[in-house]
Structure 1
């Protein structure tokens, strides 16, 4: 029984050592990345601006909605470019799309009503 316990303890210790090595490698990679970003930021003029994305459910939903809107807009533009060879029609479709996107977003995604 003590041999079995010793074997399990050795396995546990080996797993802990492996996890510690993975954690150390991850932290070293993160430190290298921070240092690289710091060097690049030091080259840029002005004060650094920190961009923090929100992580809540509403923010995630908003990002998804915006992504869907952009993809639909791009699909419409690609279809217009493939179907019509007239530059006036392409430009007109672009202008109309740009005017209708806010309306579309308000009608489909607005939750105030």
Structure 2
């Protein structure tokens, strides 16, 4: 009976040692990979995170609304007018005035 228990214990210890060796090998591979990634990404610029929160969401919504309204206005002018001078004038004015409107809307 004790020989069987000793044999089972030896098998369990062997399995535990094999699992520990596998974990150690995986940890070593992960450490090498992390070192490679950090070496390569050290030269890259850091990613900018977009601001989160209610005010940032409101500003993004306002900006989207302004861009969509300028696009709709230009499409309407393009469809309604047959004159190329009017179309180009509307496009140029929208490009010049849109940033000013954006600044006025966010303050």
Query: TM-score, structure 1 length as denominator?
Result: 0.49
Aligned-residue CA RMSD (Å): 2.2
- Listed as ranges, the gaps of 5+ residues in structure 2 are 1-39
Structure 1 runs of 4+ aligned residues shifted over 4 Å read none
Question: How many residues are aligned here?
Answer: 66
1:86 to 80, 83, 93: 83
Query: Quick check: 2:66–2:102 contact (8 Å CA) kept in 1?
Result: yes
| 1:29-74 residue CA offsets vs partner (Å, 9 max, x unmatched) | xxxxxxxxxxxxx8xxx72541311111111111011011101011
- Higher relative contact order, structure no. (Cα contacts within 8 Å, ≥ 6 residues apart): 2
Q: Which residue of 2 aligns with 1:55?
A: 52
The CA distance in 2 between the partners of 1:94 and 1:108, in whole Å, is 20
Alignment of 1:34-113 (within 5 A): 47=44, 49-110=46-107
Query: Quick check: 2:81–2:87 contact (8 Å CA) kept in 1?
Result: yes
